Structure 1
């Protein structure tokens, strides 16, 4: 991280959903989930650094409170969370989120992190098609193929993180670098230095979080028995969420 003093990055977490009950009872909102991720990321640096020295976090419920968007002059970056909603739906709050994301990207200063639904929102803001994946669901811990640039960015030869999606970014937008792919989803991570980083997966998710989501979606008839069983079989596999958190922080410090 270096010894010189750098003021904390002002990161606004745009919450695009309300967590399932088990996650909500422990972390409150998705802002709390990402705070937990970034705290572990900071702890994993050598030497460890306190979260408060690296990031100044704020949470913004963009689904229920359209007035919660922060003024761009008061932040350095945004992180758009995952969501059960479709990024390509025409709900007013989703259209406003795409518009705000485009405003951040066009600012030349406010950096953008997108996770799952947020990854897709960034794709839409950059004019690339987003829609349902005909290959179906991608769930639980999945191993990714990294490009050479992806290996450098994440500091890994292979990347495994949780997935929970059926929608995808169909094409890489112009001016961004591909970092990762899977057989089911070719556009897994997009990067533009000092501008944006997005991942289709969920570095913030843990075994317990994904297990609860899988159970609820199976009970609700959203997942078939075979897909549910396959997801539960891999839900406890080791994953690189903390490594992704470190990479996010390095991106914010570029």
Structure 2
């Protein structure tokens, strides 16, 4: 059910497409807006440049992906962690990739550069727990691009979807209005291919990138995950 009035949502942009793509694709903030869809009042903040909204000024928050790691010493990451810790638990928060990781790190989990290596291409996650905003319990296949992973769950977090490669792939928080995913449902197929083609992971493992590119030709479930996020945000 749609809300009676547009929801005021802050988009916390923590990165942007790599310069090697020549500005041919929209920024990550616009990508997540398009994923969630129209009908809401979005305001974008360059969190990676130190811009954050006032605490409590928005009903919802969307945190984008980033090339940064949550363990990096950059001041803006410390500021974002403090911001998340200061948010009221009733504020809706959704994190994607880096957003997923920074939420876990802020609220008592642990994120590391995984010894599993790079996750690239289309990955399958099995649904292990179905939440009310999820359409069904069928597995999802969504683009990924990450090396860092959540390795310890924060208190109050539960796993909704997982894989052998990414055991903490989709998280919901029982003690706050928060949802996050390691995958990138906001990546359109052409961007996912452009990002993967020429990826730095090819320096160590060319076969990984070749296989990832091939996987992106298969059908994906990004729209389904986008529907989960939209319903999560809009449900009372």
What's the Cα RMSD here?
1.9
TM-score (norm 2): 0.91
For this pair of structures, how many residues does the alignment match?
Answer: 232
Q: Name which of 193, 201, 207 aligns with 1:211.
A: 193
Q: Tell me what 1:15 maps to.
A: 13
Between the aligned partners of 2:67 and 2:113, the Cα distance in structure 1 is 13
Q: Tell me what 1:35 maps to.
A: 33
- Extract unaligned runs of 5+ from structure 2: none
Distance 1:212 1:62, change over 3 A: same
Q: Tell me what 1:127 maps to.
A: 108
Is the partner of 1:135 in helix, strand or coil?
coil
Deviation, 1:228, is: 0.8
Q: Point out the more displaced range, 30-39 or 172-181.
A: 30-39
Deviation, 1:192, is: 2.4
Between the aligned partners of 1:191 and 1:160, the Cα distance in structure 2 is 19
8 A contact 2:105–2:154 mirrored in 1: no
After superposition, the C-alpha distances for 1:86-142 in whole angstroms (9 at most, x for unaligned) are 1211211111111111112xx133221110011000011111111011111111111
Q: Tell me what 2:135 maps to.
A: 155
Deviation, 1:23, is: 8.1
Q: Tell me what 1:240 maps to.
A: 221
After superposition, the C-alpha distances for 1:185-231 in whole angstroms (9 at most, x for unaligned) are 1000111256100000001012211111112324x855521111111
Which residues in structure 2 correspond to 1:165-204 (within 5 Å)?
165-192=146-173, 195-204=177-186
Q: Tell me what 1:96 maps to.
A: 79
Between the aligned partners of 1:108 and 1:36, the Cα distance in structure 2 is 25
Q: Tell me what 1:62 maps to.
A: 47
Between the aligned partners of 2:75 and 2:191, the Cα distance in structure 1 is 29
- Extract unaligned runs of 5+ from structure 1: 40-50
Is the partner of 2:179 in helix, strand or coil?
strand
8 A contact 2:32–2:62 mirrored in 1: no
TM-score (norm 1): 0.85
8 A contact 2:55–2:83 mirrored in 1: no
Is the partner of 1:36 in helix, strand or coil?
helix
